[in-house]
Structure 1
Amino acid sequence: MAQQPGEDTQLLKQHKATLIDILSFEPDHVRQHAHSLLLLSDIAYNAVGDQKTRREQVTHLLDNVMEAGDEKAKGLLELLKKDVMQTTYPRLAFLKELPQTSTASSRNNEEAPRAKEIVPRKRKADSNIVTEKQLMEVAKRIGTEWRKIGISLDITEVKLQQIEGNNPLDLVDKVYQMLYFWRKKQKKNATAAYLYSKLTELDEDLVPDDIDFLLEED
């Protein structure tokens, strides 16, 4: 007898058409994050990227997660509720209004208080302004394509030339000064989670796991 899908899987299925419409705006963003959280295997990650259209990519991603079981479905739903995703896809805000599934409510009373603590910590981490220490750690992981990243972060060519002139020999210092300028320019929007989102989109050589410390709470 076939096993009944769990409530998180059913929730994904219920909102599948809406999610396809929303995520098709930039499918590679959710694909990268789902892969970094092991919601997609390496094979599934490549298979999603091989689909011809954006809608087909998102459809394949959702189908793969739902077929993988309720734990993966729950992980994807939690990912889609994070600020790092909702910044890119504002229409995902409706997910935060959905009722809790029985996956969480079926836990015993001893586990319930812990669950309540976890959610605020994640939200706080997503809103933290990136620190100078974090910027330095990121700078150590960015290579010679730093100028392309800077341009994609809306830093002018004139400013990048100035940064390079001030730090002609040290690549890490160049990248750090670029990121520091970005933080100053972004002000309250320069969160660690947002920087993680931007860098994993812009730098194909940057492995998401290398900068996942940006998603951790201080």
Structure 2
Amino acid sequence: MRDMEGQPAEGSVPLQQLKTKLIDILSADSDYLLQHAHSCGLLNMRKYNSIKAMNDPSEKVCEVLDCVIQKGEASSRKMLKILREADMLETFPKLRILRNLRKNPRGPRKSKRRNEECEENVPNEKLKREELVTERQLMLLAQYVGHSWKQLGILALGLSNVQLDQVEEDKRCHVDRVFAMLCIWRMREGRQATAAHLHRVLSQSNISLPPESLDVLS
């Protein structure tokens, strides 16, 4: 993807440079990457199904990355942001290389005041990440959700029927379906996906859950 001056679009460059390494890392669970890319709107349903039908994990990852890069700067930045999320780092520990990416040398330099503000925000950002609901909590919670899981997903979590139908098609086990649904919610909420937030959302829903189910979010 190139800008009007013929230069690579900012955001696409680092993704292209890391493509080979990312294919090697993400091929360990290509379907996990595919699901996240689709749930975040980087892939439409047609493209999702096309990639899902591939047998080679490396080809799946390559196709996802190529599709995102072709969409340009905004999509490439969004993908890099997704790859830095806590759940992705937990699933693919080697993705921590993204934290060491150098800033674009042609980009605007930050003022001293701006740098000081960023340094002051570091503890707060770290605290927010530590409060995010974990996959372990989501898996424990999934074991308490009954056959009304789709109602819970639509009415309480605000997910679409299309998303839930896709989860139902991808996962055979009931607990895996509920877990995947909760992961989609967490990815959508981003930094707001804290255990406290999920506890509040589920407590206010009209879908009855066992009282002890919400204890896993405490």
Q: Report the TM-score range of the alignment, normalised by the length of the smaller protein.
A: 0.5 to 0.7
Deviations 1:117-165 (A, max 9, x none): 887665433321649xx97xx669943399xxxxxxxxxxxxxxxxxxx
TM-superposed CA distance for 1:215, in Å, is 4.5
Query: What CA distance in whole angstroms lies between the structure 1 residues aligned with 2:32 and 2:64?
Result: 12
Query: Which residue pairs with 2:58 in the alignment?
Result: 55
Distance 1:24 1:89 in 2: 10
**Which one of 74, 83, 86 corresponds to residue 83 of structure 1?**
86
Q: What secondary structure does 1:38 align onto? A: coil
Where does residue 176 of structure 2 map in the other structure? 202
Residues of 1 paired with 2:92 and 2:189: CA distance? 23
Structure 2: gaps spanning 5 or more residues: 153-174, 195-218
1:24–1:54 contact (8 Å) kept in structure 2: yes
Offset of residue 5 of structure 1: 2.5
Residue 45 (1) aligns with residue 20 (2)? no
Higher relative contact order (CA 8 A, sep 6+): 1
Equivalent residue number for residue 165 of structure 2: none
Cα distance between partner residues in 2 of 1:57 and 1:49: 7
Question: Kindly tell me: are residues 34 and 139 of structure 1, through their superposed partners in 2, closer, same or farther at Cα, counting changes over 3 Å?
Answer: same
Q: What residue in structure 1 maps to residue 209 of structure 2?
A: none
Pick aligned residue for 2:102 from 69, 74, 99: 99
Runs of 5+ unmatched residues, structure 1: 147-171, 173-200
Quote the Cα distance in structure 2 between the aligned partners of 1:208 and 1:21: 23
CA RMSD after TM alignment:
4.0
Which of 35, 38, 52 is the aligned partner of 2:38? 35
Which residue pairs with 1:165 in the alignment?
none
Instruction: With the length of structure 2 as denominator, give the TM-score of the two structures.
Output: 0.56
Whole-angstrom CA distance in 1 between matches of 2:14 and 2:98: 10
> Which amino acid in structure 1 is aligned with residue 86 of structure 2?
D
Structure 2 residue identity aligned to 1:206: M
The number of aligned residues is: 159
**Scaled by the length of structure 1, what TM-score is found?**
0.56
Question: Cα deviations across residues 76-133 of structure 1 (Å, max 9, x unaligned)?
Answer: 1111112211111111111101112369x44986xx67x94887665433321649xx
The equivalent of 2:20 in structure 1 is: 17
